[in-house]
Amino acid sequence: MNELIRVWKEVDIKDIEGHLLIVGLTSADCSNCRELGINYSTAASCSKCGTDFKYIASRSKEIRKIKEKRPDLIFIDLEDYKKVVGFIKAKGFF
């Protein structure tokens, strides 16, 4: 049986920002253009901006359920993503 474990890897945050699908309770949104109401189970790209989704993150703890529905996308931890983006924005102030 396979289990989920968090692994740290250096990535290009700009690539993630431009191709991330963020799952909420019932639907998802595009991190590139902030389009809301995307069906995360089937959407390969954003209907508004055309971004192809490569990554997926969740606001809830339903990781296994989401991974089962979207094994084609790389799952990232939303809190880790927010920390890095926040750090980059703060660094830009100084």
Q: pTM for this one?
A: 0.90
pLDDT attached to residue 86: 92
Give the residue-averaged pLDDT of 80-85.
Answer: 93
Q: In this predicted model, what pLDDT tens digit does every residue of 51-61 receive, in sequence order?
A: 999 999 999 98
Q: Which residues of 2-27 are buried (b: 16+ CB within 10 A; e: fewer)?
A: eeeeeeeeeeeeeebebbbbbbeeee
- CA–CA distance, 9 with 51 (Å, rounded to integer): 23
Q: In this predicted model, what pLDDT tens digit does every residue of 13-47 receive, in sequence order?
A: 999 999 999 999 889 999 999 999 999 999 999 99
* Domain locations in the chain as residue ranges: 14-93
